[in-house]
Chain A
Amino acid sequence: MIPSIPQSRFVTTAYKAYVLLFFVFLALPLIVVAAFAFNDSQFPSLPWEGFTWNWFFGSERPMIGVFHERSILRAIGTSVFVAFCVSALSMVVGLSNAFLFNRYKFRGQSILYVFMLLPLVIPGIVLGISILVASSRLANGLWDGFQWDVEALRPGLWLVILGQFSFITTIATLVIGARLQKFDKTLEEAALNLGAGRLTAIRTVTLPYLAPAMIGAFVVAFLMSFENFNTTLMLVGSDAPLTIAMFDRLKEGSTPLLNAVSLLLMLGSSLLALVMIAFQKKN
């Protein structure tokens, strides 16, 4: 079925209705979460008790808003810190990997490429426990051998960063590699002909060309890190990032506070996505 082939009215209408229904299905949970952030009640469910801003700005019990809830604010800060470290690390290693697989031919390259892709087909929770096991073995070894107590190898933020970095790097590599593949190599050769050194050519010609992909990889990595749950769950210590903090609260029973946080998250990531789209249009 394509537009140029005539179809019966009924079929096309039914098809359109199906697509519409699909988008309702996609939007419904998000709309509901957003709407109940403004319910003047202790529970994010019907009946509707009236409109309130208290779940954002309220400062008194029982309605303490997001902006006055210390633990949530701290968790947001933790998540931003983790996401920033993970994105920076994966962007740098992703860039290096992209060059490695695009610019060089060496023995065992195709096997290594498959290895590079592997984190995509390892369940996040397995990645989490494997890093947990390896790092605690290393920590115990260092303690037994040298009496060194390395706090960074115990469950906590550093392990969360390593765990997320382990698979987000693959994504960054793919995003940057896809653009590098489209790069016209003669441009770089022209720079070399004009007397630039190899590094200068890469710095002044190739890297500016790759900039949109690098920023794209950074943003995608940031979002993936911010949203990550499975790997983080296995590696988290006492400083919980936002998704884990919200999960713990949700298990105890939800208040519209969680809706308010969720709405802020939606706004935040939409903003980030819009910035990225605008940036890529410009290029």
Chain B
Amino acid sequence: MHREAKLGLILLLTPFLLWLSLLIVIPHIDLLLVSLRERVGVGQYEISLGNYLTFFTEPLYIVTFLRTAVMSIFATILTLLIGFPVAYYIAKMAKGRTQSALFLLCLVPFWVSELVRTFGWMILLRETGIISNLLQSVGLAQGPVEMLYNDAAIMVGLVYTSMLFMVVPLITTLESLSDEVVEAGYDLGGSGFSVLREIIIPHAMPGIVSGSIVVFMLCLGNYLTPTMLGGKESLWFTELIYSQFIVRFNWELGAAFGFLLLILSSVIVWGMLRLTGQSLEKTMG
């Protein structure tokens, strides 16, 4: 390597390594260390697995953890099922102007913050909200209907908030599927369903995987939607982290929760990549 090139490499590596180590790697090592210590006196700490033990012995924590995981997976599947036909329509059915207009329309809700979107659902779903009033005026309901503060409301909010991150990668991969391949599938006697299963879905796989990973991550780490749309019973794991850190000031337990969340997300993302034979560089990069 030339001396000049070597200098350039060092100049470019420096900001990258500073960013990576100071803001990503070292903070997570610190987080792990804090989660592995226990307070034994004022300002005195001991290394122990006590925080993780607390997690495994307290049913509320485990139940919340599992509930968050299961509901996030469910929300991801739901987003995929709802979004796929729309993505397919935009990528393969719509042409020219309509196509770009529809694509842009998909992006519009995501130019505003998640808070505004959640606020919109609160106005729609609450007891004095639009849907409740609509049902009453049509005669389907006698009194005000409360649709907020339950798991279904959380689900609506999660699916809504994540939709973009599913639809955009799907459109990108589906656009690269040429019409001739689909036609060939029909010519060879395939039915609509078998063409979908054997041609379209395999082709869309990278998009499905990257969309699902991002959506799953967003649901798992979401704080706003479960807090605003969920009720007292529907606790989300991020709410536990927040309350340990900010309300109880028990950083040790909070750090352990944070690490567990990180492990859960990594395991599921890794599993998803393994199952479909994709890699992180290919799906994200």
Contacts and interface: CB of A to CB of B under 8 A. Distances in A.
B175 interface: no
Interface string B81-103: 01001101100110100000010
B23 interface: yes
A262 B116 contact: yes
Contact of B109 (A26, A93, A166): A26
Interface string A224-263: 0011011001100000000100110010001000110010
B27 A32 contact: no
B214 interface: yes
A1 B120 contact: no
Interface stretch (B46-54, B57-65, B125-133): B125-133
Contacts of A201: none
Interface in A1-47: 1-5, 15, 18-19, 22-23, 25-30, 32-33, 36, 43-46
B119 A265 contact: no
A65 interface: no
A5 B124 contact: no
Given A46-B130, A133-B30, A229 B224 contact: yes
Contact of A121 (B4, B107, B217): B217
A9 B121 CA distance: 35
Contacts of A28: 120, 124
B262 interface: yes
B147 interface: no
B152 interface: no
B56 interface: no
B70 interface: no
A45 B125 CA distance: 10
Given A29-B124, A115-B20, A234-B242, A129 B108 contact: no
A88 interface: no
A188 to B, nearest CB: 13
A43 B128 contact: yes
B258 A247 contact: no
B205 interface: no
Interface string B255-285: 1001101100110010000000000110011
**Interface size grouping (class) on chain B:** 35 or more
A96 B269 CA distance: 28
Contacts of A54: none
B245 A29 contact: no
Q: Which DSSP category, helix, strand, loop or mixed, fits chain B's interface?
A: helix
B128 to A, nearest CB: 4
B89 A125 contact: no
B115 A130 contact: no
A110 to B, nearest CB: 7
A130 B12 contact: no
B24 interface: yes
B235 interface: no
10 contacts: A33-B119, A33-B120, A46-B129, A117-B280, A117-B281, A117-B284, A165-B23, A169-B19, A223-B111, A258-B119
Interface of B: 4-5, 8-9, 12-13, 15-16, 19-20, 23-28, 30-31, 34, 82, 85-86, 88-89, 92-93, 95, 102, 105-109, 111-117, 119-124, 126, 128-130, 133, 160, 163, 179, 182-183, 186, 192, 213-214, 217, 220-224, 228, 238, 241-242, 245-246, 251, 254-255, 258-259, 261-262, 265-266, 269, 280-281, 284-285
The 10 closest A-B pairs by CB, nearest first: A29-B120, A123-B221, A130-B27, A269-B111, A134-B27, A166-B23, A227-B113, A100-B12, A262-B116, A130-B31
